[in-house]
Structure 1
């Protein structure tokens, strides 16, 4: 890895572009396999949302696809929380090859708070949506 990696940048990339794996690419480069995994559930979830908009709420495939977007979002925001809360010494040892770098400061703290806010909301919405669709399908039988 060349250059210095900053905690605040990784946290904000996870917040703003984590569903596309941008935080992983920032930290590990374009060869990171996990970074390339992130767009798959994101695109599946978006396809489910488009299906539901086009075909209505009775489309069962959309019920299966939409939660994948929530899973992708929650995973990305969890990564942002982990990055933002990582101690500076451990961060520098892992991502900056032992070179000292400035801590994330308030930018990392605000990023973590927003990741917690949006991540908790996405997690609860995903669980609620999935549970609602499951119970509706059971009641219809």
Structure 2
């Protein structure tokens, strides 16, 4: 039986590595195998900023991949946590009863949803701000080059 609280916390903490997909869908899930790719690219972008500074163009393209992946996994944790017990058990526990306790919501689920909401929106806003700031700085530099 797949537990909704465990799935919510796994999605929030290990989502960017795809481990929650393996818990819910098994090792044949392609999205679970592909989720570490944007995560690794984003981490590589962070390493490039530490090595080359903030003006590295490739890093400001790669860093938001990590942020958007984390934010997407936090959103997924919220969706899992807010799914009704009937829908959860129908989708992930089809052999069990529709009102199986594995699909019910507990305080652990509620706390997981609240933390995913707080940290997910923070990471999403930071990624958007970073992306827009770098985009407009790039546009200003391009305009300066054209005007000279």
TM over 0.5: yes
Over residues 25-68 of structure 1, what are the superposed CA-to-partner deviations in whole Å (9 max), with x where a residue is unaligned?
11001110111121000000000000010000111000110010
For the residues of structure 1 that align with 2:141 and 2:79, how far apart are their CA atoms?
42
**Equivalent residue, structure 2, for 1:25:** 22
**Equivalent residue, structure 1, for 2:93:** 96
- For the pair shown, the structure with the greater C-alpha radius of gyration is 2
> Cα RMSD (Å) of the superposition?
0.9
Q: Which of 56, 61, 72 pairs up with 2:58?
A: 61
Q: Mark the runs of 5 or more structure 1 residues left unpaired by the alignment.
A: none
**Equivalent residue, structure 1, for 2:4:** 7
Paired residues of 1:6 and 1:104 also in contact (CA < 8 A): no
**Equivalent residue, structure 2, for 1:134:** 135
**Equivalent residue, structure 1, for 2:146:** none
CA positional deviation for 1:104: 3.1
Q: Mark the runs of 5 or more structure 2 residues left unpaired by the alignment.
A: 143-148
SS of the residue corresponding to residue 36 of structure 1 reads helix
For the residues of structure 2 that align with 1:23 and 1:79, how far apart are their CA atoms?
10
Over residues 1-28 of structure 1, what are the superposed CA-to-partner deviations in whole Å (9 max), with x where a residue is unaligned?
xxx0000000000111000011111100
SS of the residue corresponding to residue 43 of structure 2 reads helix
TM-score (norm 1): 0.94
For the residues of structure 1 that align with 2:81 and 2:59, how far apart are their CA atoms?
34
